[in-house]
Amino acid sequence: MKKIFLWIFLLQSFALLHATLVLDGNGSTMDLSLNALEIGSGQTVLLKNFILNNLQGNDNTGRIIMYDSTSSLTLQNCTLNLSGDYTYTHGYWTIRGANKINGYGKRFTVSPADFINHLRIEANASLEIGDGVKLEFDEAISDTFAIIFDSTTSSSGKLILSDATLYANIPGGLTFTNGELVIRGESTIDGDTTLTLGCGIAANDCFLTIEPSAKLHLAAGSGITWMNAGVESFDTSESGILDVKNGAAFNDPLTPIDFNHETMILDSATFDGTTSITLKNVTTLLRRDLNLNRDITLNNVILNGQDNQLTLATATKLFVDSGATVSLQNLDLVNATNKIRFNDASGKIWLDDVKLDSDIYSPFYISPYSIEFTNSDCMFNAGLTLPVNLSYVSKFPFGGTLSFNEHNLTLSSDLIMGANGRLDSTTNGTISTDADANLRSIFFNGDQSFSKSLKLNNNLILDG
């Protein structure tokens, strides 16, 4: 094997490399602005510690030319700076060490031709797509494993999107196994791109990491299918953002997913699959109305509707996890009858600027303070059934039926009954005030009624 150490490497004529070569730039620059690096049939070239400037064109007429499927290029600790779009159609590239592709607004395209061995990222190696580059896979590629990750028991290859875009409109989409997809900056899975993580075998799971302050956008038409068998959560380092655009889809047919510590921004997203999703320590913002068609478990979650509507499909339920506090904010909650459930008595829901358009009731309310109406701007146009003792605070009229079912409603504010409001105490429910014994009032604004006996303590005023 020939080994050439270069301090400064400036190509001034075409270099046809027919031997197996190691070129070590020791941090120097290789300028491809005028000429090209050619790798012949059956030849392997290892570029180490180089900065390659002005890469563009394609591997037939561009600045790095691969002759056929037997041409091989290995990059080790190199930076490629694109001066134009570059298309890679022949041979195979291997990524070793830490490598990066830069070039704002430029495309690095992987296209078929005799593309056989694909783009391979070795164990403990990384390829960072940065600086606004779009990594694109041509739609004519038939193999979903267009990127191959090598792994060991302690490390795996990484594809890093750093303010970059991944686009792959290929049949069956892309499948990532063994490695790790890392999100830095604001990066996007572009439209028509279907990305599958894992293949149903735990040993081949692919991690998804959204780093601190990073944001992953799932564009309209894109989708992620979670086929990991052993990895059940996103590692988001407690501050990443997952932005699911209108028309994007998230599918997990195999394993329940635990979204952990990130912020989710949902824009009419679709969550499909047969298993449940867990939102844990997550702040979720709705950009538009959201229809949920699968069970979701909530654990220390803030769900902020931003004045949009959350509709629960027929068989969909929201589960409050053990010990969790869930805050529903600025939300129009639709079709929620018997849909909010608690895993045990330690869970709690706080309602803040919430509008109920359907009755809330679940036999799983088993803690006296499972529901707290903590903000003075909750609106109840539907009924609320009390299966246990609950506390209530609101200054908006209650427009539905308030059913006690033998339980106690503790008022932390005045209770204002709307024109269609009705107090229903079929089995002798009780209204009382909160612990500070402030004087509370019940205001009737219409022909309200209540059945049987309604017990009122001496701190209440009936007005109307």
Do the beta carbons of residue 417 and residue 442 sit within 8 Å? yes
Q: Which of 56-60, 264-268, 272-276, 408-412 has the lowest mean pLDDT?
A: 272-276
User: 306 pLDDT exceeds 80?
Assistant: yes
The answer on pLDDT for 256 being more than 70 is no
Instruction: Give the pLDDT band (50/70/90) at residue 107.
Output: very high
% of the chain beyond a pLDDT of 70: 62
**Same structural domain, 53 and 164:** no
What predicted TM-score, i.e. pTM, was given to this entire model?
A: 0.71
Read off the pLDDT of residues 406-459 as tens digits, 9 standing for 90 and up. Answer: 666 777 677 777 766 677 655 566 777 766 556 677 777 666 555 545 555 545
| DSSP state at residue 247 | T
The pLDDT-based confidence of 19 (bands split at 50, 70, 90) is: low
| Residue-range definition of the domain harbouring residue 240 | 124-130+156-257+265-270
C-alpha span between 360 and 337 (Å, rounded): 5
Question: Which of 117, 146, 167 is the last residue before a domain boundary?
Answer: 117
* Whole-number pLDDT of residue 74: 95
Q: Which of 97-101, 188-192, 203-207, 238-242 has the highest mean pLDDT?
A: 97-101
Count CA atoms within 13 Å of residue 60 on its CB side: 6
Residue 318 reports pLDDT greater than 80:
yes
Please tell me which of 78-92, 109-123, 218-232, 346-360 the model is most confident about, judged by mean pLDDT. 78-92
Q: Say if residues 102 and 127 touch (Cβ distance below 8 Å).
A: no
Pair 109, 13 in one domain: yes
Same structural domain, 113 and 168: no
Across-strand partners of 126? Answer: 98, 158
pLDDT of residue 439: 65
Say yes or no to pLDDT of 1 above 50: no
* Res. 11: pLDDT tops 50: no
Residues 90 and 165 in one domain: no
pLDDT above 50: residue 364: yes
How large is the average pLDDT for residues 276-284? 69
Domain membership of residue 233 (yes or no) is yes
Q: Give how far Cα 101 sits from Cα of 108, 195, 201, 379, Å.
A: 8, 21, 31, 53
Same domain, 113 and 160: no
Residues 239 and 192 in one domain: yes
Instruction: Indicate the pLDDT class of residue 36, thresholds 50, 70 and 90.
Output: confident
97/209: higher pLDDT: 97
**Does 5 lie in the same domain as 111?**
yes
In this structure, what DSSP letter does residue 360 have? B
Q: For position 196, what pLDDT does the model report?
A: 86
Mean pLDDT, rounded, of the chain? 75
Same domain for 163 and 101? no
pLDDT at position 260 over 60: no
CA distances from 85 to 59, 67, 329 (A): 11, 19, 46
Which of 51, 119, 61, 60 is closest to 81 using CA atoms?
51
The stretch 169-196 carries a mean pLDDT of: 87
| Residue type present at position 136 | E
Q: What is the pLDDT of residue 252?
A: 58
One domain for residues 236 and 164: yes
Question: What H or E segment, with its residue span, contains residue 120?
Answer: strand 119-121
Count of CB atoms situated within 10 Å of the CB of 138 = 19
First and final CA of the chain: distance in angstroms? Answer: 96
Q: What integer pLDDT is reported at residue 98 of this predicted model?
A: 98
pLDDT attached to residue 2? 40
390, part of any domain: no
Domain-located, residue 32 = yes
The confidence band for 8, taking pLDDT boundaries of 50, 70 and 90, is: very low
Identify the bridge partners of residue 134 per DSSP, sorted by sequence position.
107, 165
pLDDT at 5: 39
- Quick one: pLDDT at residue 437? 54
Q: What is the pLDDT of residue 100?
A: 98
> Would 427 be classed as within a structural domain?
no
State the residue for tokens 């269609």.
Answer: 420
Choice between 178 and 11, residue whose per-residue pLDDT is larger: 178
Instruction: Examine the domain organization and report whether 58 and 166 are in the same domain.
Output: no
pLDDT > 70? residue 234: no
More confident position, 298 or 397: 298
Q: Please determine, for residue 264, whether its predicted confidence score (pLDDT) is greater than 70.
A: no
> How many residues in the chain?
464
**Model pLDDT for residues 138-160, shown as the tens digit of each residue:** 766 666 777 889 877 667 899 99
pLDDT bracket for residue 79 (50, 70, 90): very high
Cβ atoms 335, 311 nearer than 8 A = yes
- Overall number of domains in the chain: 2
Phi (first) and psi of residue 231, to 5 degrees: -95, 120
Boundary of a domain, candidates 236, 270, 304? 270
Q: What is the pLDDT of residues 38-66, one digit of tens each?
A: 888 888 999 999 999 999 987 556 678 88
pLDDT score, position 9: 44
**218 with 108, same domain?**
no
| 126-144: average pLDDT | 84
**Which residue among 249, 270, 291 closes a domain?**
270
Residue 451 lies in a domain: no
Residue 89 lies in a domain: yes
Does the residue 321 lie in any domain? no
Check whether residue 83 and residue 194 sit in a common domain.
no
The four Cα atoms 371, 372, 375, 377 give a dihedral, to 10 degrees, of 40
Whether 14 is covered by a domain: the verdict is: yes
